[in-house]
Amino acid sequence: MHARKILWLTFGLALAGFVLLLLSLLREDETPSTSVMSEPLPVQASEEKSRQVWVMTYTRALAAGQRLAMSDLTWRPIPQQQADGLVAYVVKDSMKPESLKGAVLRRSVTARDAVNPFELLKPGDSGFLAVQLREGMRAYSIQLEKHEAQAGLVAPGDFIDIYGTVERIENSDGDRIYQLERAYTAASGVRVLAVDQRVVEDFSSKETEEKSKQKRLIVTTELTPKQATQVALADIQGKVTIAIRHPEDIARPLPVTRMTDLFPENRTTRSGGAAMLMRGIDVEIQGGIE
């Protein structure tokens, strides 16, 4: 009887020990999962994802070659993860927007795009003037006297007409020489890109005062290839002057103006285009002076 009790007691103790061992093994399997869940890694990842940085962005879409104004720039928060994917950007307080005023874009941008400082050209940078030209246009510089450049008031961004005047001998009769002076429009509705080495429209008062003391100005304009040829010929043949015009005026070239249009008393009498023989013999010719 005692032997049977001892056997059951031994069996019960062994079973209890086995159950305890099994429970301990199960707890060890659950311990890594519990420790992983208790770690703050997912929380840190969520915080990193929601972290934002303030960067300089554009307020509107701009085309390549356009100049920046203060109203074109603003600060906007973007996720740090998005900022890390940018080639370059400007963090708030690292640069003043005023330092980019007048800079020119190398490429077109859209609203809310981050500002990449390496895609901007400032006055004096190589290629600054070329990037302002519209496709197919040329930059041509004209040297003018101060009074010929609207007393020095012409500024980048203005629209002008370019006139050429030429004087030549029309005909001679003994000691009397007839001269023909002509004025014509070499180019109309031309945009001014720069005056001397200044390209920003809003000159400071100091720059305006210094410019007013200069006797000559170099005006750089944007022309089509044909206009550039016409202005170059006008510059070589005679004198070039300019006149400021309203940018919305329709470009209408003026007809050639002769000195005789201003002073009719100097006009020679011609009937039907026939020449009157003054001396010599009557010979039929072709062509003649225009």
Find the DSSP H helices in 177-258: 205-212, 225-237
168 shares a domain with 97? no
Per-residue pLDDT band for 53 (boundaries 50, 70, 90) equals very high
Q: pLDDT category, 290, cuts 50, 70, 90?
A: very low
Residue range 208-224, pLDDT digits in tens:
555 555 667 889 999 99
- Pair 165, 255 in one domain: yes
Asked whether residue 149 is domain-assigned, the answer is yes
Q: Is residue 44 part of a domain?
A: no
271 phi and psi angles, rounded to 5 deg: -115, 120
Question: Which amino acid appears at position 70 of this protein?
Answer: M
Identify the domain boundary among 121, 146, 178: 121
Residue 239, domain member (yes or no): yes
Q: Are residues 177 and 65 in the same domain?
A: no
Check whether residue 175 and residue 247 sit in a common domain. Answer: yes
Give the number of domains in the chain. 2
Where residue 254 falls among pLDDT bands split at 50, 70, 90? Answer: low
User: What is the Cα gyration radius of the chain?
Assistant: 42
Q: What is the mean pLDDT of the chain?
A: 74
User: According to the model, what pLDDT value does residue 48 have?
Assistant: 54
* Residue 2 forms part of a structural domain: no
Full DSSP string of 65-88: TPBP-GGGEEEEEEEHHHHHTSS-
Nearest to 69 by CA among 79, 78, 60: 60
Helix (H/G/I), strand (E/B), else coil: 227? helix
Model confidence over 255-281: pLDDT tens digits? 555 555 555 555 555 444 455 444 445
Q: Are strands 52-58 and 138-145 parallel, antiparallel or unpaired?
A: unpaired
Contact 107, 61 (CB under 8 A): no
Q: Judge contact between 121 and 166, C-beta under 8 A.
A: no
pLDDT for res 6: 74
Q: Tens digit of pLDDT for each residue in 183-216? A: 888 998 899 988 887 765 444 445 555 555 566 7
Model-level pTM? 0.54
